[in-house]
Amino acid sequence: MPDIKQNVTIYSTPSCHFCHMAKDFFKANNITYTEHNVAGDMEKRKEMIEKSGQMGVPVIIIGDELIVGFNKPKIVQLLGL
């Protein structure tokens, strides 16, 4: 059985449509995640840019894998859903 106890982090902004889609998807699948609002948190914004090399949100980290945008097939694959 796949391990869905992955560490999930999402860097997002309140106005980002795809961020809301990603968070709704995690909630619907009972995936616990840590959220960082990079609109108001400059340290986390800097961290996100250093990790992803860009400004776009959402940036989702599942385990050691970094996903830019709401790439649902990739998220499903990494979470083993």
HSE, CB side, 13 Å, CA atoms: give it for residue 22: 30
In this predicted structure, what is the pLDDT of residue 5? 62
In this predicted structure, what is the pLDDT of residue 20? 98
Q: Tens of pLDDT along the chain (81 residues)?
A: 344 467 999 999 999 999 999 999 999 999 999 999 999 999 999 999 999 999 999 999 999 999 999 999 999 999 999
Q: Could you give the domains of the chain?
A: 9-79 (3.40.30.10)
**CA–CA dist 74, 37 (Å, integer):** 22
Nearest to 10 by CA among 1, 40, 80, 20: 20
